[in-house]
A and B are shown apart, each in its own frame.
Chain A
Amino acid sequence: MFSVILYGRNDSHGYNLHKRAAISFNALAEVMSDPDDEILFVDYNTPDDHPTFPEAIHDTLTDKAKKVMRVLRVRPDQHVRHRLKTHLVALEAQSRNVALRRSNPRNRWILYTNTDMLLVPRDERESLSDILGAIPDGFYQVPRFEIPEMLWEAAFDRRDPVGNLAKLRDWSVRFHLNQVVHNYMPMKYDALGDFQAALREDMFAIHGFDEDMILGWHCDSNLAARLALYRGRVDTLIDKLFGYHCDHTRVAAANNKGRATRMNDQDRFIWNVATPYVPAQAETWGWPDVEMEEIRLDRDTAYQRFTAGLDKVIEPATAPFVETSLEWQLFDDLTYDLPHTLPFVCDQVVTFPRSTALMLVATRSDFVSSFAKAWKGMGFTGPILIPEECGGLPADLPGVERAPFAEQLSSAELFIFEFGLATQTATEPVRAGREIGPIDKKRLKVAERLFKRAAATEADTRPDGRRVPRRFIGVNVIYNKFWQTFTNYVGANINPFCSQVLAGPPRQDESLKGKVLKFRGRHAL
């Protein structure tokens, strides 16, 4: 019957964002009763190494919310063409159009709202699907009522949407919450963007949201203006349901800077709108030709993929614990425990697109064969690119492509550099004072040279059309000689030794030292 369209980003903004979003997702799912109903969440421009916002809070969502939610992931590299034109990191019009294009065509209605809304049918026996199924074609809005921040923070249980809706029915009377704020036509109500129900067919006819609106604010008013022209009328559903907003003004939203807030031009996008259509984007709105990643919370989750990958390559531990040490005298010992390290490496890659082409430069053949199996097991379809310069590695692993480093460099979308000892065996003790042998030295030298070249030339060797820096993952680069090498070139955080892994984008160091390092890296001196 209807597709709810929401958008957001996993950027930890505001201390109570996760709570109000979980409350809202669960409450929206609760008022759905048609098998075709869906919540489309566009996760816009979350960093590649982060999970999407709904994945980050999945444990607070009800089974029903997880079942009806489709997450469409817009990657930073897909946003980058807008980056110079806007101060915002998440674009509403683009997000909502991406979802509209990919919404369930069997649904008659599209409902635009936000991740802090609860919709309460006035007749408890009715679902929102029932309500929308019974009303004539039109463009509908409801007034927004505010819930004081303390109330929802203190009294709502994220995973109890039925209880939350019951509380709202009670509070609305006890605390006089229901105040309708009228507004000029075509807006009809204040804060109209928290409930705008339009026919899917109408939204396609008017070419979706206006994608020129990239400075934030008024997207809802623009939509109201255009749909009011197109339909002739703005209808209300106030008799059918009330919409409640989890007030969150203690911490201002990212696009709210008080009087200094930059916003879309009201005259252009509201008061001087002259047509329902946006013909300039008729063929392009919602990025119809872009293959969009879709993530489900009820199946094929990141955890399921992670375990599927690792279960293929590591057996359960047979001892209560294993030991290593970061004592200073062991600084040159590059042994590490592969079964312990591999989960931390997989953790670094699992959020990337499945089609990612990964360059793997390594010294240990058992690392390569284990990681390659885990990569496949996690559902990745992109190739693992291993430069021919890396000797002593398995030659014919499925999904692995061998070619000269220089040829592969501009195909790689992600890098792993592993600095271990080629001669380490599976049974020998870790960090017990092992010396580096001639073969180890030779392989490490190659890995180091390729790493420096890749990092120093990253900006110049990106795949065609890519503008976002690629990420470098370093394996076994903590508390040993490669820590400095790696962090000279990569902007990595300080990680615990136990994780064995550092990661980050290439460093942008404009100091003399940085320039020298870059020069040396380019020429692998």
Chain B
Amino acid sequence: MADIGILRAAIAPVRRLWRRPAAVEIAPKVGDDEEDARVHFRDGLVKRRGGNSEGALAAFDRALALVPEFADAVMARAEILDSLGRSIEAHAEYERARGLWSELPPGAADRRYVFRRQGYFAFEAESYNLVRTNVRSKILPQLAHGNARLARGRAAEALDSYERALKVNPKLVEVLALKGEALSALGRYEEAIQIFDGVLAANPKDGDTLNGRGIARAALGRLADANDDWRRQFELLPQTSSAARACVAMRMGNCSAAFNEFALAVAKEPNNPYWLLYRLTAARLAGAPAELVTLPADDRWPTPLLAFRTGQVTEEVLLHRATSPARHAEARFQMGVLAVDGNPAAARRYWREVVDQGPPALIEFAAASNELARLGA
């Protein structure tokens, strides 16, 4: 026993080195601010698990310096401050994190669950990454990790996670469907459609997959096929799912149905500015009388779109506020909606831009495609 004790003592420094968690002291620049912030965030989590609260706080601060609205880092700070007894500071941080999360606009209601929630999902990506290294050969950790990355637009990482899950069980249609979504997000539409076809052969009533296949088909210019999928999805959705029905109706260019369904969605979720915007849009395209709109108090996206529709913001200001390709497409689409009665050629031009440059998963992409088809463009 004594000999073993001496041996242990001799190799202790080496063992400590070997066991030391792979903390990232100086994060290398890996890409955009969000990814760099994520590296700092990961560093903070590792330090926190290792009992280094101050180091963790510093890492989260570095992450927040890069992306001030990084809610996951704010929440992680709050929990550390709380555990250190700094409850007043912690309280403000908890509230700030919740505020940041709830300010993120929700995703389209007609899409698969993974796209309906918005957030950074950095904590989830890191946590499930840890789980999958410990709980091996299981579906959930891979799937949840993939979802966290897919929801944040990191489709390549998501695809890798889904493929790892499929190694455990290659026949799981739920995971295959998600793989299809990741492929579609990567622009590999033909492969995505092939997978969606298989999923739908197993379950023809899978509305989420019909939606996904419709998007992929529309991206390839197969609008009639896409509309078939969305029409079928619309039929499958229960009457109570008014927001989802409204979104899919909008996608397939059935503006009168969208107008009615968005009215129900607005009644259910009056604080969702997109439902208000889309109801206005559907009304205009369906030729329904215009309604008075009260703009949300805050100026966050998509309020500028509503302000544009009510004449309170110019095209230039709107485009200036459209800071991503998706927002740019949303802005161009609304410009087309406003122009279509008086200047159909301009509307065509705006909508063509949406279809040529916008992300195919956007409702506006599908709606613009259908409006262009209607105008004979």
Contacts and interface: CB of A to CB of B under 8 A. Distances in A.
**A, B from the same assembly:** yes
B135 A184 contact: yes
A233 B113 contact: no
A325 to B, nearest CB: 69
Interface of B is mostly: helix
Contact of B144 (A228, A238, A239): A228
Contact of A232 (B83, B119, B168): B119
B113 A185 contact: no
B135 A185 contact: no
B127 interface: yes
B140 A274 contact: yes
A465 to B, nearest CB: 30
B15 interface: no
Contact of B140 (A137, A225, A231, A235): A225
Contact of B147 (A229, A235, A239, A267): A229
Contacts of B79: 236, 238
Contacts of B138: 267, 271-272
B144 A274 contact: no
A270 B143 CA distance: 12
A232 B146 CA distance: 11
A462 B367 CA distance: 62
A141 to B, nearest CB: 13
Contacts of B114: 229, 232
Contacts of B127: 184-185
B98 interface: yes
A151 to B, nearest CB: 24
Interface string B284-303: 00000000000000000000
Contact of A233 (B117, B139, B169): B117
A232 B127 CA distance: 12
Contacts of B147: 229, 232
A136 interface: yes
B121 A233 contact: yes
B139 A274 contact: yes
A272 B140 contact: yes
Contacts of A272: 138-140, 168-169
B157 interface: no
A186 B144 contact: yes
Nearest to A279: B203
Contact of A239 (B78, B135, B140): B78
User: Which one of A135, A271, A276 has the highest number of Cβ atoms from chain B below 10 Å of its Cβ?
Assistant: A271
A251 interface: no
A355 interface: no
A136 B117 CA distance: 12
A136 B121 CA distance: 16
Interface string B164-196: 010011001011000000000000000000000
A270 B140 contact: yes
A140 to B, nearest CB: 10
A136 B98 contact: yes
B169 to A, nearest CB: 7
User: Which one of B114, B147, B174 has the highest number of Cβ atoms from chain A below 10 Å of its Cβ?
Assistant: B174
B122 to A, nearest CB: 10
A137 B168 CA distance: 33
B363 interface: no
A344 interface: no
B239 interface: no
B91 A232 contact: no
Interface in B121-177: 121, 123-124, 127-128, 130-131, 134-135, 138-141, 143-144, 147-148, 151, 165, 168-169, 172, 174-175
A275 B144 CA distance: 10
Interface string B256-287: 00000000000000000000000000000000
Interface in B66-122: 75, 78-79, 82-83, 90-91, 94, 98, 101-102, 113-114, 117, 119, 121
A232 B139 contact: no
Interface string B25-62: 00000000000000000000000000000000000000
Contact of B117 (A232, A236, A267, A270): A232
A498 interface: no
A239 B124 contact: no
Contacts of B119: 232-233
Given A184-B131, A239-B82, A273 B139 contact: yes
Nearest to A187: B131
B174 A275 contact: yes
A230 interface: yes
A230 B113 CA distance: 6
B117 A229 contact: no
Contacts of B169: 272, 274
A176 to B, nearest CB: 13
Contacts of A274: 139-140, 143, 165, 169, 172, 174-175
B258 to A, nearest CB: 22
A264 to B, nearest CB: 15
B294 to A, nearest CB: 22
A181 B288 CA distance: 57
A125 to B, nearest CB: 14
Contacts of B144: 185-186, 228-229
A272 B166 CA distance: 11
Contacts of A233: 101, 117, 119, 121, 123-124
Nearest to B138: A271
Contacts of B90: 239
A225 B138 CA distance: 13
Contacts of A135: 98
Contacts of B151: 232
A107 to B, nearest CB: 15
Nearest to B129: A185
A232 B82 contact: no
A408 to B, nearest CB: 45
A138 B106 CA distance: 12
A190 to B, nearest CB: 15
B135 A271 contact: yes
Contacts of A270: 140
B140 A273 contact: yes
Contacts of A232: 114, 117, 119, 121, 124, 147-148, 151
B142 to A, nearest CB: 10
A274 to B, nearest CB: 4
Contacts of B168: 272
Nearest to A232: B117
Interface in A220-258: 225, 228-233, 235-236, 238-239
Interface in A177-227: 180, 184-186, 225
Contacts of B83: 180
B113 A276 contact: yes
B31 to A, nearest CB: 23
Contacts of B140: 186, 225, 270-274
B300 to A, nearest CB: 15
Interface in A144-181: 180
Nearest to A230: B113
A135 B101 CA distance: 11
A184 B144 CA distance: 12
A229 B124 contact: no
Contacts of B131: 184-185
Interface string A369-401: 000000000000000000000000000000000
6 contacts: A138-B101, A184-B131, A185-B127, A232-B151, A238-B82, A239-B78
Given A137-B102, A272-B140, 11 more contacts: A136-B98, A225-B140, A230-B113, A233-B119, A233-B124, A239-B78, A239-B94, A273-B140, A274-B165, A274-B175, A275-B174
Interface of A: 135-138, 180, 184-186, 225, 228-233, 235-236, 238-239, 267, 270-276
Query: Which are the 4 A-B pairs with shortest beta-carbon distances?
Result: A271-B138, A136-B102, A185-B127, A232-B117
